[in-house]
Amino acid sequence: MIITTNFKNVLASELELSRSIWIASAMISYSGWKFVQSHLSGDVEQHFLIGTDLATDPKVFEKLLEKLNINARVYQTMFTFHPKVYLIQKTDNDFTAFVGSSNTTNWGLEKNTEINFQISDQTECLKLLHWFNTLYAKGYLITDEFVNDYRSKFQKTKHKAKEIELEAHTLKQELTKDDGQFFTSNEHRIFEEKYHRIASEDLKRIRKEVSHKLKALHYKIYPRFKEFGLKDLHAHHSTKELVSRHFFNPFSGNYINAMWLHYGKSYDQLQAYKEDKEKSFINNIRLQVIMHENSLGFWLVLGREWSSFKDREYYRKQLESPNTMTEIFNAIKNLSEGYWISNVPNLKTITDPQQLRSYLKKEQIEKYFIIGFDIDYLDSRLSRENITQTILRQFQKLYPLYELFRHNS
């Protein structure tokens, strides 16, 4: 039986029924020692084979010196002694054993992520007993001399262990800093350039999970669009196209450098166009939630000449109207700090509609025109708790510009 949780309770129950125990542990803390002793009756025969490589607490060896009736040895070689074996003979003489990753410590028995396998097969248990006895015969008796020498070395080791623990803690914080975020670090990192063309099973799984999460966001935000004034902003008419593809497509170059959730014109609005290319949802102006390596972006996107001709043409006409330029200027000034626009070096330096117009007219038809805001993936605004509201608020800011740039068929 595999045990991944509750190992401490399972082991305690078996210890309470024991007549003899054999424990081979790379490390025993004083709390681990007390745990074992607290679940044994007074006449249980005990055997311990203990390692020192992982800094067993000297108090354990001191207790063993006090209780000479307990069979205990230290196992030392040129290499690390690393087993975690608990063999128990119960009062009915049957054996049970636990072999796994749990050292005899509070952390190992209860708190760490551990896995242990319980063995009930009597033949296998007797093999473990033979293994234990073979190593035990090579072990060293616990003497006063050993304990005194070990105690002084333990203090030095403990100091170094604290330094290592601090470094490990810092590393853990780095690795788990996405805790509480809606999208994990892995789900962002797959958009690093080195992964764009990699189709391993692991990356495919993660891309699929990103797709599922983006769809989950859709079902949270879309019903609330009107609440945030997004009156004429629509999801793709096909549920299969709500999110960009998560699988490689030869027609798109067999690579994925981003994934997004997008909204734009309704099916009826698109069907009013004459050309099939003009009817395509992705070929028209859209608002996006877009995943990149280190950020989640909120973008207003106008396509390139071959895909978004009607919207780009209408956009240029809008720039020629002084009144419309004033509306565009006011809408852009209403955006949060951190927004950026294609061809505009710094929004803070724009002081009037004509200055803005001079930059916007430099847009290049062969490139996407984007007004965007990218939030660092660890920002609290992207937590599981806050992300829905964040998307709706950013769309609310971009929507006036969407309406000003959208071509009506």
Q: What is the 3-state secondary structure (H, E, C) of the chain?
A: CEECCCHHHHHHHHHCCEEEEEEEECCECHHHHHHHHHCCCCCCEEEEEECCCCCCCHHHHHHHHHCCCCEEEECCCCCCCCCEEEEEEECCCCEEEEEECCCECHHHHHHCCCCEEEECCHHHHHHHHHHHHHHHCCCEECCHHHHHHHHHHHHHHHHHHHHHHHHHHHHHHHHCCCCCECCCHHHHHCCCHHHCCCCCHHHHHHHHHHHHHHHHHHHHHHHHCHHHCCCCCEECCCHHHCECCCCCCHHHCCCCCCEEEEEECCHHHHHCCCCHHHHCHHHCCEEEEEECCCEEEEEEEECCCCCCHHHHHHHHHHHCCHHHHHHHHHHHHCCCCCCEECCECCHHHCCCHHHHHHHHCCCCCCCCEEEEEEEECCCHHHECCCHHHHHHHHHHHHHHHHHHHCCCC
> What is the pLDDT confidence band of residue 25, given thresholds at 50, 70 and 90?
very high
Per residue in 119-145, pLDDT (tens digit) is: 999 999 999 999 999 999 888 888 888
pLDDT at 161 (0 to 100):
56
Which residue, among 2, 13, 21, has the nearest Cα to 87 in the 3D structure? 21
Confidence of residue 49 (pLDDT cuts 50, 70, 90): very high
Domains of the chain, first to last = 2-163 (3.30.870.10), 185-405 (3.30.930.20)
Looking at residue 174, its pLDDT comes to 56
170-209 in b/e burial notation, b at 16+ Cβ within 10 A? Answer: eeeeeeeebeebbbbbebbbbbeeebeeeeeeeebebbeb
For residues 166 and 212, which has the higher predicted lDDT (pLDDT)?
212
- Minimum mean pLDDT range among 104-113, 301-310, 341-350: 301-310
Judge whether residue 285 has pLDDT over 90. yes
Number of CB atoms found within 10 A of residue 345's CB: 10
| Amino acid 80: pLDDT | 82
Which comes out higher in pLDDT, residue 141 or 287?
287
Residue 127 CB coordination number (10 Å): 13
Whether 353 has a pLDDT exceeding 80, the answer reads yes
pLDDT digit string (tens) for 359-405?
A: 888 877 778 899 999 999 999 999 999 999 999 999 999 999 999 99
What percent of the chain shows pLDDT beyond 70? 93
Higher pLDDT, 236 or 65: 236
- Which pLDDT score, from 0 to 100, does residue 262 have? 97
Pairing of strands 234-235, 140-141: unpaired
First to last CA, the chain: 66
- Is a pLDDT exceeding 70 seen at residue 168? no
Which residues 6+ apart lie within 8 Å of 124 measured at CB? 97
* Average pLDDT of the residues of the chain: 89
Question: Model confidence over 241-276: pLDDT tens digits?
Answer: 999 999 998 877 888 999 999 999 999 999 999 888
CB-CB contact of 318 with 328 (8 Å) = yes
Residue 251 pLDDT: 77
Please state the rounded mean pLDDT for residues 299-307: 82
CA 336 to chain centre: 28
**Residue 167: pLDDT above 80?**
no
**pLDDT the model gives residue 83:** 92
- Nearest CA to 83 out of 14, 7, 26 is that of 26
The per-residue pLDDT for 243 is 96
The rounded distance, in Å, linking the Cα atoms of 156 and 131 is: 32
What's the rounded mean pLDDT across residues 61-75?
Answer: 87
pLDDT of residue 409: 73
Q: What is the pLDDT of residue 144?
A: 85
What's the mean pLDDT in 217-236?
A: 97
Sign of the CA dihedral running 302, 304, 309, 312: positive
